[in-house]
A and B are shown apart, each in its own frame.
Chain A
Amino acid sequence: MSTATAARNLDASPVAIELRNVNKWYGQFHVLTNVNLTVRKGEKVVVCGPSGSGKSTMIRCVNRLEEHQTGDIIVDGMTLTNDVKGVDAIRREVGMVFQQFNLFPHLTVLENLTLAPIWVRKMPKKEAEDLAMMLLKRVRIPEQALKYPGQLSGGQQQRVAIARALCMRPKIMLFDEPTSALDPEMVKEVLDVMIELANEGMTMICVTHEMGFARSVADNVVFMDRGEIVEMAAPTEFFANPKSERTRLFLSQILSH
Chain B
Amino acid sequence: MSIDQTLPGSLAPEDKANLQAAAGAPEAIVAPPGGTGGPVLWMRKNLFGSLRDSIITVLLGAVLLYVGWGFFKWAVIGATWTAQTADACRANAGGACWAYLVEKAPFMLYGTYPFEERWRPTIVSLLIIAMLVSSCDRRMWNWRLAAMWVVGFAVSWILMFGGVFGLPYVETGLWGGLPVTLILSVVALAAAFPMAILLALGRRSNMPAIKALCVGFIELIRGVPLISLLIMASVMLPLFLPEGVTIDKFLRALVAFSLFAAAYLAEVIRGGLQAIPKGQYEAADALGLSYRLKTQMIILPQALRLVIPPLVNTFIGFFKDTSLVYIIGIYDLLTAGESAVKDPAWRGFANETYLFLAAVYFIFCFSMSRYSQYLERDLNKSHRR
Chain A interface residues toward B at CB < 8 A? 63, 65, 88, 91-92, 94-96, 98, 100, 102-106, 108, 110, 115-116, 119-120, 125-126, 129-130, 133, 142-148, 150-151, 164-165, 168
Contact = CB atoms under 8 A, between A and B. Distances in A.
A92 B284 CA distance: 11
B385 A105 contact: yes
Contacts of B11: 129, 133
Given A102-B279, A104-B283, A143 B288 contact: no
A106 B286 contact: no
A142 B18 contact: yes
Contact of B283 (A88, A102, A110, A150): A102
A168 B288 contact: yes
B305 A106 contact: yes
B302 interface: yes
B32 interface: no
Contacts of B6: 108, 146
Contacts of A150: 383-385
Interface string B370-385: 0000000000001111
Contacts of A108: 6, 382
A120 B8 contact: no
Nearest to A91: B288
13 contacts: A95-B286, A105-B302, A105-B384, A108-B6, A115-B287, A115-B297, A120-B287, A126-B8, A129-B8, A146-B22, A148-B384, A164-B287, A168-B287
Contacts of B286: 63, 65, 91, 94-96, 165
A96 B19 CA distance: 27
B15 interface: yes
Nearest to A146: B23
B18 A146 contact: no
Interface of B: 3, 6-11, 15, 18-19, 21-23, 277, 279-280, 282-290, 293, 297-298, 301-302, 305, 382-385
B285 A98 contact: no
B297 A105 contact: no
Contacts of B277: 102
Nearest to B22: A143
A100 B288 contact: no
Contacts of A65: 282, 285-286
Given A98-B283, A133-B8, A150-B383, A88 B288 contact: yes
B302 A106 contact: yes
A153 to B, nearest CB: 13
A139 to B, nearest CB: 15
A143 B3 CA distance: 13
Nearest to A88: B288
A250 B48 CA distance: 66
Contacts of A125: 8
Contacts of B19: 142-143, 145-146
Q: Which interface residue of A63, A88, A105, A146 has the most chain B CB atoms within 10 A?
A: A146
Contacts of B385: 105, 150
Contacts of B302: 104-106
Given A148-B382, A150-B385, 11 more contacts: A102-B282, A103-B283, A105-B302, A105-B384, A108-B6, A116-B288, A119-B297, A120-B290, A120-B293, A133-B11, A145-B19
B316 to A, nearest CB: 25
B279 A100 contact: yes
Q: Which interface residue of B279, B283, B286, B305 has the most chain A CB atoms within 10 A?
A: B286
Contacts of A115: 287, 289, 297
B10 A130 contact: yes
A103 B384 CA distance: 12
A116 B285 CA distance: 10
Contacts of A96: 283, 286
A87 B23 CA distance: 38
Contacts of B10: 126, 129-130
B272 to A, nearest CB: 12
Contacts of B383: 105-106, 148, 150
B295 to A, nearest CB: 12
A106 B277 CA distance: 13
Nearest to B11: A133
A98 B384 contact: no
Closest 9 CB pairs of A and B: A150-B384, A129-B8, A102-B283, A91-B288, A102-B279, A143-B22, A116-B287, A96-B286, A92-B288
Contacts of A129: 8, 10-11
Contacts of A88: 288, 290
Nearest to B284: A104
A142 B19 CA distance: 8
Contacts of B297: 115, 119
A207 B259 CA distance: 50
Contact of B9 (A91, A102, A110, A126): A126
